[in-house]
Structure 1
Amino acid sequence: MSPVSPAAPPAVQPPVAPPIDAGVLPLTAEAGPAGLAVGGVALTELARRFGTPLFVYDEEHLRRRCREAVAAFGPGNVAYASKAFLCAAMARLAAEEGLLLDVASGGELRTALHAGVSPERIVLHGNNKSEAELRTALTAGLRHVVVDSFDELDRIERLVAEEGLPPARVQLRVAPGVAAGAHEAIRTGGHDSKFGFGLADGAAEAAVRRAAASPAVRLEGVHAHVGSQVLDPAELADGAAAVARFAVDSGVARLTVGGGLGVAYLAGQSAPSFAVWADRVRAAVRGAGWTGEVGVEPGRSISARAGLTLYRVGTVKRIAGVRTYVSVDGGMSDNLRPALYGARYEAFLPRCPQEPRPLRARLVGKHCESGDVIIDDAALPADLRIGDVLATPVTGAYGYAMASNYNKLPRPAVVFVRDGDARVVVRRETEEDLLRLDVVPTAWCQTTDA
């Protein structure tokens, strides 16, 4: 008689996830008879009216976060890092709430100017600015340019000397040797960085001497940014202290310590307030001998939680003994962060936000990539069905900003909601839009071998 194989141990089932945590939802989110509403508008109604995928922003949330940042650091000391999310409506909102605007390309600069933001309230970043970008900055009269390299100083000096442009007001970006952030790709302040003049090798000191002596430059201050999605304010304070010591020794008038403050993406996470960040940074720079004002550049911490993405469920595939796949009508073209950084998110059904979420599934997009995964192990309600509207919260930063047309998918629309009203601030792309840059010959020439 063959021996009886021992029974396999029962598979360990993950605990049933509770309803979606309010801590990852926009500030005006509220459950009602029609499901979850943001800004007084039901999310299912927004999906019906505007289609999916759809980026939805709580305008009141955005404005409150802007005001909190200004209250913590003082007027004139906060620049919104527009790379997190930018459109004309967002640029105008930030300006209305008293923020400067930090742009990092000619396109972002064009958007800010198109929105009516005064050049005196715009700061230009970038590690490889073109002559065209610098020419626009000097001609328009931006508040200042954050200079990143000696090559950039060469370009500025050439533009001023050869084209008669006004001298550039600049801050010098310093790599202080302090790197922080949730992923290596977003740690920017270490010695081995494409950004800034290094402190350790003496490049920063040499840059100060050169800028101070150049007739093409008006040196106003120094700048540093150590990384992004930082949840421990002590890491940001360490970077601020390092650059503050250098600023004191250099005798400059302004100090900017960048952004980097993180947000809670998952239930149970917490992030420091602007007030806590300000207190820790001020204490650190005072300890380093800096007595002046401190500038900051928050982006994610203003826009991330304000936004969420709505999708429509199209396919549910159950593989016995393996997993369940839930496919939606977007994916890595509207949220690249999971594929790029391994970023993690929550998900829920807006029609039933207060239900527990016992179903475990891999939430995927519709792209021709196995890596097109939005959430590897999403917790969802048991009665999820085809056609449901599904939401991923905290996508207001680096969602639309990184969106692409991969597989020729049109990019989603962006809607702002407030006080029961919804307005489109970026229209949905169409398939006709996808063809607008193609150059097609009017006639095809075909040759054959004789």
Structure 2
Amino acid sequence: MVIQLSLPLILNHHQPPLSSLKCALTKQGHRLLSTLHTASTPSAADRLIRKFIASSSKTVALNALFHLLTTDINHHSSLALPMYERISETSWFKWNPKLAASVIALLEKQGRFDEAQTLISESKRDLRFRGRDIALFYCDLIECHSKQGYKRGVYQTYACVKEVIRESELLESNVWSMVNQRVYECMINGLCTLGLPSDAEEMTEEMKVLGFKPSAFELRLIVLGYGRLGLFREMRGVLDEMEGFGYALDTICANMLLFSYGSNTELYQMVTWIQKMEKLNVPFSVRTYNSVLNSCPTIMLLLQDTKGLLLSLEELMEKLQGDELLLVQALGRSAVLFETLKWCSTEGKLDLHGMHLGSAYLIMLQWIEELRLRFASGSSDVPAEIIVICGLGKHSTLMGESPVKALISEMLRRLSSPMKLARKKGGSFVAKGKAVREWLL
């Protein structure tokens, strides 16, 4: 394929700073994109891409490509195809249907239909024109179109995959039944991603006519789709349907409900559902913390200026009122802290992976109180080492710069904690167990 870079896109200097991009990007990839701003011609940009790939590991190169495929900045996304083509020339490259589908979806969204069609033809060739594999590839393409927000691409690809199924399903009926189920799953997921839960619900009706039972996963997606739009009556209607199918309320579905009500500042409804979770013994999770605390305005306001954070659970509870207080009290009754805290004679380890800022903040306050109680009661041995794991910031805007790590660092500094950032344990704060006990008592 002949690669053509659009010069006006390359030379567009009215871009937001790279730090504003949402995709986690390696520092090498960040340098590449910064350098590409200086490229005066398409050939110069292509040389920079070639040099970058030649000097980068597989992980770094694919990370940069992922960034180009997921950003909505035209300047960067226009380079996704040449980056993909150069990566495909490397010795380590292995064709991947999801990666190819991501590139095709971006091209079609940009209106570059001929280039997209060429990649589709090449993909079919790589799949050796096997009907089942092509159908599954179209499923990947449906998901990628939905992530790009390209409704037309979703429906066009759906028509293509249904045609493949019609041509092939008589050969292996059992196999194609599973493929059909996968197609509906992808369509329902895609339509909900596009903000079209009513269309997704209609798709479940089509499934029933053909003898397919919607799964709990598919119905949860529709629940979340309605919830994001604030269509709570429709959301509750799907919940009733789930109950009719025998799907009990679980942690995943409950978290979706909490997220939906929280996104629409319906704190009273959040209290109702979190109390229902407790009554039905539905376990809380880190995502429960995230969904609840991201919706608590007082906590979110406190986190805007970490230097003014309240540094004890007692102070925080005195600050909270009404529904916010009820929500945080419910979280305090959960087992999430104990699930994230590992305790033995060698180490006491708190793992904050997956937590948003509000969750990390509250868990740290709960952790401090729990350790103080354990040390004061003498009910357990003092671990040789105490560790708080924040992670390396792989999912941050710029890889390696973790907001959670910055928050915990500030909290520990203000509390005069003996815990320090460990050089050999990236993203972790460490101290001797006895030093932590002396600090807390």
TM-score, normalised via structure 1 length: 0.26
TM-score, normalised via structure 2 length: 0.26
Whose strand proportion is higher, 1 or 2? 1
Of structures 1 and 2, the one with the larger relative CO (CA 8 A, separation 6+) is: 1
